[in-house]
Homo-oligomer: A and B are copies of this chain.
Amino acid sequence: MMIHSHLDSHEEGRGIATKRDEAKYDAILQAAIEVMAESGYHHAQISRIARAAGVADGTVYLYFKNKEDILVSLLRRSIGHIVALGQARLGKLTNAEEKLREIVSLYFEQLGANPKLAMVTQVHLRQVDANIRREIGSIMRPFYDALDDIVQSGIAEGVIRPTVNRRIARRMIFGTMDETVSAWVLTGSKYRLTDLTDDVVDVLLHGLSRGTGYGSTGADVQDAAQNAERSVEA
């Protein structure tokens, strides 16, 4: 998997404090997650974030250009982290199926381990203005590229059907993961997100249709009755 790496240096975007207290930077970001997860982007006053971080209001502006910059930096850091992990883990894998499972697992694992961060990325991040959405898009790009690479290499390996519309394939992968995480967040993060990995990968790989003779996975041994029992999720 070729994960593009220009976002690894996820600090570049700051452009304000080149060499200030890194712990303070982290504290503000963490405080922002806490406050935003609780109150949403628009109701998360800078003064509350500052207080939660243990700094003065003005200090926030030594580390971030403005309030939106905090949000963008949050996403940049978390996506950057996921992408970096992906580079490390997926590099060792050769099979597209394994790569897909790994990236889904990674995504669920990362967001599943931090419900507040997930709340911010899945819900509050979307409350911002159009111009910020553009920047968000550019931050997500490396992740999208990683998904595209998986599809592309899978086709090359003969593991993925060459006839799928690749862009749509990518959107299916991301859309399914995104919808899954959002549902998990909005229902209170009550179950383990990673538990869904196999089911998600199964449906992504094999679709809904009962074809004839396609390769069955371990998941297939579950029958419809069992399926109906899974009710942890709302």
Contact = CB atoms under 8 A, between A and B. Distances in A.
A213 B129 CA distance: 47
Contacts of A203: 164-165, 168-169, 172, 207
Contacts of A129: 40, 42
B161 A208 contact: yes
B212 A215 contact: yes
A221 B128 contact: no
Contacts of A196: 165, 168
A171 B180 CA distance: 7
Interface stretch (A17-25, A46-54, A62-70, A151-159): A151-159
Please tell me how many copies of the chain the complex holds. Answer: 4
A123 B130 contact: yes
B208 A154 contact: yes
- The DSSP consensus for interface residues of chain A is helix
A146 to B, nearest CB: 15
Contact of A171 (B158, B183, B206): B183
A180 B175 contact: yes
A223 interface: yes
B208 A211 contact: no
Contacts of A91: none
7 contacts: A162-B227, A163-B222, A163-B224, A167-B230, A207-B207, A211-B214, A213-B213
